[in-house]
Amino acid sequence: MKKVACGLARVIAWFTVRATGLVFAGSALNAAAQGSVNVYNWSDYIADDTISNFQSRTGISVSYDVYDSNEVLETRMLAGRSGYDLVVPTARPFADRHVRAGLYQPLDKSLLDNYGNLDPVILQSLADIDPGNQYLLPYMWGTTGIGYNVDKVKEILGDDMPLDTWRLVFDPEIVSRLSACGVSLMDDATEVFVAARAYRGLPTDDYSSAAAQEAADVVAAARPYIRYFHSSSYISDLANGDLCVAHGYSGDVLQARDRANEADNGVNIAYAAPAEGAVVWTDVFAIPVDAPNVANAHAFLNYIMEPEVIAGVSNYVAYANANSASVSLVDDVVRNDPGIYPPAATQERFIVLQTPSDSQIRSMNRLWTRVKTGR
C-alpha cells in the first residue's frame, strides 16, 4: 500500500510539473506568435484545401477556429484582446456596429495587390456603413428567400403557380393550404418585417413604428398557419421532408438540398429569391484593432482575393463570392444556379438592410414578440 501511495505521489508530482510547464509554455508560445495568423470564421465556410495551400505557399501557419453565430463572435470582439487577426462578421447589423464601436483597424490597401478583383457594386453597397471601404473586405454574399419541397408544394398548389414569391409564406390563402405540410419563418424581426413589406409592395427602407405595424399585420394574418419561427432548424427539417416551405438563407437551403440528395431520400429541395425583392446579405473580413499579426492577416486576405482561390471556396461552400474576377472560374453548377447567382432581374430588386436605431429595434421587437405568440 505504501508503494502505491509513493507511486501516486510521484505521478501527481509529474503531472503537476508537466501541467504548470504547459500553462506557461502555452502562453509564451502565443505571445511570441511569429509567422502565424489566427483566423476566426463561420463553421464550414472555407474550402478544405484553402488553408493548407496558404500554409505551404507562404510558410505562415494558420490557426483556424470556427463559430456558429454572429453573437458568439460579437461577444469575443467586445471583450477585447481576442487574439484573432481576421474575423468574418455579417455586414449588417454586426460589422456596422463593430466599425462604429472602433473594434476594427483600417485595411492597408498597399498590401492588398488583388483588391481590384473585388466587385465594385458590392463594395459600393457597403460604403454607407464603412465609408471608403476602409475596414471591411467583402467575402461571400447571398440572399434571404424561400426554400421549398418542390414535389409537395407543386402537388398542393398546382404546376402553374410561380414559386419565387413571398406569397408562399405571407398570403393567408396560400399559406393555409401549405400549413399541414409545414411552413417556417426566420426568428428575426428585421428580416421578416422587411420581407413582409416587400410582399405588400411597400417601401422597404422605412423602419418607423408605423411601417413595422403594417408589416406585423401581414405576418399576423399568416401566423395561424406558421409551424415555427427559427433561423436554422429548417435546414434539417427541409432535408428530412418534415417541412414544405421555409424562409431562410440561400446557403442554408442549398445545404438542405445537398443533404437530401446525398441521403437519396426522394426529397427534392429548391431555393428561390423572391421576385418582389429578396434581402441580400454580405459577410465581410475585418482585422480586429488589437490583432497580433497584422501583416500576415493582410497576406491571408490577399491570398483569398486571388480568383482561383476564392472560386475554389465558392465551389466548395456554394455561396456567391464578392470577387468579380473569379466568376468565370466558378463551376457551372454553382454559377448557373439561380439560387446562388440570381438572374439580373432579381438582382435589380435586391433589398439592402439598413441598421435600425435603438428605438426602432425596440418597437420592432415588441411587435415581433406579439406576432410570434399570436396575441
d(CA 214, CA 152): 31
Strands (DSSP E) contained in the chain are 36-42, 61-67, 86-87, 137-149, 183-185, 228-229, 245-249, 269-272, 279-285, 320-321, 351-352
Write out the three cell numbers for 63: 490557426
Which CB atom, from 30 or from 176, has the smaller least distance to another protein? 30
Which CB atom, from 22 or from 121, has the smaller least distance to another protein? 22
Q: How far is the CB of 78 from another protein (least distance, A)?
A: 11
- The stretch among 22-30, 109-117, 207-215, 338-346 that binds another protein (CB under 8 A) is 22-30
40 contacts another protein (rule: CB under 8 A): yes
263 contacts another protein (rule: CB under 8 A): yes
Which CB atom, from 90 or from 114, has the smaller least distance to another protein? 90
CA distances (Å), origin 56, targets 50, 61, 313, 371: 10, 9, 17, 53
80 contacts another protein (rule: CB under 8 A): yes
Counts of helices then strands in the chain (DSSP H, E): 17, 11
In the region spanning residues 217 to 256, those forming contacts with another protein, defined by CB under 8 A, are 232, 235-236, 239-240, 255
Q: Please, are residues 325 and 117 in contact by the beta-carbon 8 Å criterion?
A: yes
63 contacts another protein (rule: CB under 8 A): yes
65 contacts another protein (rule: CB under 8 A): yes
Which CB atom, from 5 or from 210, has the smaller least distance to another protein? 5
Q: Please, are residues 66 and 42 in contact by the beta-carbon 8 Å criterion?
A: yes
Q: How far is the CB of 83 from another protein (least distance, A)?
A: 4
19 contacts another protein (rule: CB under 8 A): yes
Strand ranges across the sheet with 61-67: 61-67, 36-42, 86-87
d(CA 223, CA 184): 10
Which helix (H) or strand (E) covers residue 16, if one does? helix 2-32
323 contacts another protein (rule: CB under 8 A): no
Q: What is the DSSP letter of 353?
A: P
Is residue 18 classed exposed, middle or buried when 0-12, 13-18 and 19+ CB atoms within 10 A define those classes? exposed
CA distances (Å), origin 151, targets 101, 181, 243, 270: 48, 12, 12, 10
Nearest to 55 by CA among 315, 303, 291: 303
In this chain, which of 134, 265, 357, 365 binds another protein, going by CB under 8 A? Answer: 265
Angle between helices 294-304 and 307-317 (to 10 degrees): 70
30 contacts another protein (rule: CB under 8 A): yes
In this chain, which of 12, 127, 295, 333 binds another protein, going by CB under 8 A? Answer: 12
Which CB atom, from 66 or from 202, has the smaller least distance to another protein? 66
- The stretch among 28-36, 144-152, 179-187, 361-369 that binds another protein (CB under 8 A) is 28-36
- The stretch among 3-11, 102-110, 118-126, 351-359 that binds another protein (CB under 8 A) is 3-11
Q: How far is the CB of 317 from another protein (least distance, A)?
A: 11
Which residues in this chain contact another protein in the complex, by CB under 8 A? Answer: 1-2, 4-6, 8-9, 12, 15-16, 18-19, 22-24, 26-27, 30-31, 33, 38, 40, 43-44, 63-69, 72, 79-84, 232, 235-236, 239-240, 255, 259, 262-265, 292
